[in-house]
Amino acid sequence: MLDYVTDKVQDEARQGEAFAPYASDPNEYKKRFYIESYGCQMNFADSEVVAAILNKEGFGATRNVEEADLIFINTCSIREKAEQTVRKRLTEFRKLKERKRGMLVGVLGCMAERLKSQFLEEEKLVDIVVGPDAYRTLPALVGEAEGGQKAVNVLLSREETYADISPVRLDSNGVSAFVSIMRGCNNMCSFCVVPFTRGRERSRDAASILIECRDLFEKGYREVTLLGQNVDSYYFVDETKDETVTFAKLLEKTALISPLLRVRFSTSHPKDITDDVLYTMAKYENICKYIHLPVQSGSTRVLQLMNRTYTREWYMAKVDRIREIMPECGISSDIIAGFCTEEEEDHRATLDIMKYSRYDFSYMFFYSERPGTLAQRRYKDDIPEDVKKRRLQEIVEVQNRLSLESNQKDVGKIFKVLIEGDSKKNEKEWKGRNTQNKVIVFPKENPELKKGDYVNVKVTDCTQATLLGEIV
C-alpha cells in the first residue's frame, strides 16, 4: 500500500489492501485456499494465475480464511507500510494455524525473495515462499510443505510470462478484467525495488493476449486493462506471421475484437509512450482516453537522482503532446515527496508541474527507502519525516483542488458510461466510469439496465472524487 493515496473509488482497484476469492461450487473441491493481495494491479493479476494453478491441483477458493487448508499472501515491497501490514497478517495467520492442524501458510510475490529467511527461519511465520516467476512450481512446493519441509522457490526468469494459463477471475464484477501483457522491468529507477523482485522485462505472446481478451468478451466482460510495469515498451516478434507487435499495434488488435470492448492500460513510462500509441488511442472510440503518466518529481535535479531518464521540460512536452492529439484525455500520476536531498525549491517544482499537467487524480506518498535499491546504496535518506509529511500534505492539497476543478468542468457534459455495478453507498444507484476513468454515480431509473451495459449519463454535480449524474 502507498503511504497515502487519494480516496477516489477507482484507487481501490489499483491499491486495494486485500481480497478473498470465491468458489462457484463449494462442493467442487476437497481442499480450500484463501489468498490476499497487496499492492499493484500486477499482484492482483498474479493471484488469478495462482488460483488457476491451484484449481488444477484440486484446491477451491474460499472467502472464509478459517476453513482454508492453504493461506497465501501476495506481497508488495514498494512501501514499508505494505511490508508491515503483511507481517501483521502473517502473525495472525500463525495463531490460526496453531488451532487448525495441517494448515499451510505461504508468501507469494515481491517480498518473497528479500525476506525469505526471516519468514522461514527467524520468525517461523510461513511454510512456503514463492517468487513471482515460480508459480508453476506451487503444486510441488505444497507437496514438500505437506511433508514437513520448508518449500522455497524465488528464482527469477527471463522467459516466464504465464501466457498459456487462463486466470481464474477472483472477486470479479464480471465486467472488467486485468490482462497481463508483460512482466518485469528494465528501468532502474533508483527508488524502485521492482527490477530486483520481478526481474528483467519480457513481453507475452501477442496471440495469447488476444485469445484471453476475446474469451473475456465472449464471457460477458466489457472492459480489459492491459497490464505491465511499462506497457509502452511491449515488443513481441511473432515469427509465425513474420510480424513485430508494438504496444500501439497490440492496442489496435485488442480494440478490433469488438467496439463493445473497452480497452485500458497501465502503466506508462513517460520516456516510452509514443505518438503511435497516442494516435491509436485517438483513432478508436473504445480505447479509453486516459493515461497514467507517473512524474514522481517536478525537479530535473531530483529526476536525475531518481534515474527517471527525462527532464522536467521533457515531461511537460509529453503532456502537451497528449493534450494536442487528445484534448479530452484524462491524465493521472504518481508523486513522491521527500526523496533524498530534496530541497524546498525541488518541492515547489513538483507542485508547479502538477498544476501545469492538471492531473485528474494522483497516487501520492512520501519517500520510503527500500533495501536493495540503487537509492539505498547511493544516497542518504536525509529528509526528516515531519518534512516529508508536510510536503506530502501540500501535494495532497494541490491535487484535491485539481481533482475538484477537473470534475467541476465536467458538470453539464454527457458521457458514455460502462455500468460496473451498484454504488457502494446506495444500492438504488449505479456506479460506472467514463472514458477518462472518472467514477460516475447515477440513479437506477431504467429497470432494464444491468451490469455491463453502456448508458449515456449527464453530469449534474460532483464531489472531489466522484461525478454525479442522471441517465439521458
Q: Which three cell numbers stand for residue 109?
A: 510475490
* Helical packing angle, 247-255 and 275-283, nearest 10°: 10
How much is the pLDDT for 262?
98
The distance from CA 393 to its chain's CA centroid, rounded to whole angstroms, is: 24
DSSP assignment letter at 147: T
Decide: helix, strand or coil at residue 337: strand
Given a contact cutoff of 8 angstroms between Cβ atoms, the answer to whether 136 and 163 are in contact is no
Q: If you search the block for the grid coordinates 501458510, which residue do you land on? A: 105
Q: Which helix (H) or strand (E) is 469 found in, with range?
A: strand 467-471
Phi, psi of 75, rounded to the nearest 5 degrees: -100, 160
Which regions of 319-366 does DSSP assign to beta strands (E)? 330-337, 361-366
pLDDT score recorded for residue 19: 41
pTM of the predicted model as reported, rounded to 2 decimal places: 0.89
Rounded Cα–Cα distance for residues 169 and 175 (Å): 11
Task: Please tell me the predicted confidence (pLDDT) of residue 15.
Answer: 36
Whether the CB-CB separation of 455 and 419 falls below 8 Å is answered with: yes
Instruction: Spell out the domains of the chain, with CATH numbers in brackets.
Output: 11-153 (3.40.50.12160), 172-288 (3.30.750.210), 321-409 (3.30.750.200), 414-471 (2.40.50.140)
Give the pLDDT of residue 348. 98
Tell me the C-alpha to C-alpha distance, in Å, between residue 87 and each of 63, 99, 126, 196, 360. 20, 19, 10, 20, 34
Mean pLDDT by 10 residues, the chain (472 residues): 32 37 54 90 91 93 92 82 83 89 90 74 82 94 92 90 90 92 94 88 96 97 96 93 95 98 96 97 98 98 98 98 98 98 98 98 94 93 98 98 98 98 94 98 95 98 97 96
What type of residue is 442?
F
Q: List, in sequence order, every residue forming a beta bridge with 336; answer none if it has no partner.
A: 365
Please tell me the chain's helix, strand, coil percentages from 3-state DSSP, rounded to the nearest 5.
35, 25, 40
pLDDT of residue 25: 52
Give the C-alpha separation, 309 to 271, whole Å.
7
